[in-house]
Each structure stands twice: as structure tokens, then as C-alpha cells.
């Protein structure tokens, strides 16, 4: 059952370049990805376009991670559940793309969360459909080897702490979260994903 759900998501998925094109195309029509439409979601999608453009130019993969990726022996599919309006996805998916680009052993596929609800239900975070979610698959048999997301530990902790202090996640919290990502420069994302891979390989 799970394999069929994954295969269906892969058939529905985008390459990173096509994911970016799809988001840009929808924005040009005044829309966001996903089954819900609103001015806020469109606004977030537009903000995220700017973020992703910047990250593609500025993110560097750490030298030691580059070596590990280039020495992978098996083939993997990195399937990411995402949406264009998601602020965390805008910070994380370009980093994942940069990592996958370094090796022919990883094929990156991006599936939209709302179009793949059956798969999303298997990867809930505290009962919620939090994204992005990276699912590491064996490329030969589509077996799920590991999953990661929706945020690196430091970003997760920032939101937990903010919520316990203020009782709510508001716009200020979102700004603080974006600052955290800016300061971290994609390092935590890279390190946590590679730790995950090392556990899979060991």
C-alpha cells in the first residue's frame, strides 16, 4: 500500500526546476499552490520566490558534506512534500536541491502536499501536515529509509520557545524564524540530513 502511494506521488512530482516554474506560473495568475487560495497565501508565495532566488545564489554546501554526497554508492530518491506558500519550504528546499545537485546518486522529486494527502498522512508531525517533509527512498524498490522535517532542530526550538512565552505563533515569530534561517545559512539543514543518511547507511 505504502509503495503504491509513493509511486503515485512520484508520478505527480516535479523536478526542482519545474517546481519553481509551477510556482512562478501560478503567481503570474494571482494564485498559490495548494487547494486553498487567499491573498495571504499569494503574498507568502511571492515573498518565497525572492527567498528562493536569493538562496540559490548564496547557499554553499559544506566541503565535508560535498565529499560524502559525491562518495555515495547506492542510488536514492529524495521525495519532498512541499507547497510554494510555505516559508520553511522556501528556506529548506533550495538547500536540499543544492545537495542533490552534487551527485548522480540522488534524484530530487518534489510533490505538492495538498495533491498527495494519502502520503502526507503517513508523515504527520504532532498530528499536523507540517511541511516541508523529506522522505529518503531506496531508488530501486521505493522503500522508505528515513524522513526529515519540517524544520531543523534550532528553528523548531525557536518556535517552541516563542509559543511558550507568547502563547501564539504570530507574524513576529515568523520574522524571527526567517532571521534564524538567514543566520544559519543552510548549515543545520545540511548537517541534519547527512546525519540521517549516515544512520540509513550504517
Contact predicate 96/78, CB 8 Å: yes
Q: What are phi and psi of 185, to 5 degrees?
A: 55, 30
Q: Contact, 27 vs 43, CB < 8 A?
A: no
Which residue is listed with cell 507540517? 130
66-112, pLDDT tens digit by residue? 999 999 999 999 999 999 999 999 999 999 999 999 999 999 999 99
Exposed (0-12), middle (13-18) or buried (19+): which is 27, by Cβ within 10 Å? middle
Place of cell 511541511: 131
Q: What percent of the chain shows pLDDT beyond 90?
A: 92
Is CATH 3.30.930.10 the classification given to domain 2-151+193-201? no
Residue found under cell 536541491: 97
> Is 90 exceeded by the pLDDT of residue 1?
no
Task: Convert the pLDDT of each residue in 145-195 to its tens digit.
Answer: 999 999 999 999 999 999 999 988 898 999 999 999 999 999 999 999 999
**Cα separation, 45 vs 57, whole angstroms:** 19
Angle at 193 between CA 188 and CA 197, to 5 degrees: 145
Backbone angles phi, psi at 76, to 5 degrees: -130, 155
Residue 201 has what pLDDT? Answer: 66
Confidence tier at 202 by pLDDT (50, 70, 90): low
Please give the Cα distance from 42 to 27 (Å, whole number): 7
pLDDT at 126 over 60: yes
pTM value is: 0.95
What residue spans define the domains of the chain?
Answer: 2-151+193-201
Cβ atoms of 131 and 81 within 8 Å: the answer is yes
Amino acid at each position: 500500500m505504502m509503495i503504491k502511494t509513493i509511486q503515485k506521488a512520484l508520478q505527480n512530482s516535479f523536478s526542482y526546476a519545474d517546481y519553481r516554474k509551477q510556482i512562478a506560473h501560478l503567481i503570474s495568475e494571482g494564485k498559490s499552490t495548494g487547494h486553498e487560495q487567499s491573498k495571504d497565501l499569494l503574498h507568502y508565495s511571492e515573498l518565497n520566490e525572492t527567498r528562493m532566488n536569493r538562496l540559490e545564489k548564496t547557499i554553499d554546501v559544506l566541503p565535508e558534506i560535498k565529499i560524502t554526497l559525491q562518495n555515495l554508492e547506492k542510488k536514492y530518491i529524495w521525495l519532498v512534500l512541499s507547497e510554494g506558500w510555505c516559508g520553511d519550504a522556501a528556506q529548506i528546499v533550495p538547500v536540499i536541491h543544492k545537495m542533490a545537485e552534487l551527485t548522480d546518486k540522488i534524484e530530487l522529486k518534489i510533490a505538492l502536499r495538498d495533491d498527495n494527502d494519502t502520503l502526507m498522512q503517513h508523515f504527520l508531525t504532532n498530528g499536523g501536515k507540517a511541511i516541508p517533509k523529506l522522505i529518503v527512498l531506496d531508488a530501486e524498490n521505493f522503500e522508505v529509509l528515513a524522513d526529515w522535517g519540517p524544520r531543523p532542530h534550532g528553528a523548531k526550538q525557536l518556535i517552541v520557545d516563542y509559543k511558550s512565552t507568547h502563547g501564539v505563533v504570530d507574524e513576529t515569530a515568523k520574522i524571527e524564524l526567517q532571521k534564524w534561517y538567514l543566520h544559519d545559512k543552510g548549515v543545520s539543514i545540511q548537517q541534519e540530513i547527512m546525519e540521517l543518511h549516515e544512520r540509513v547507511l550504517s
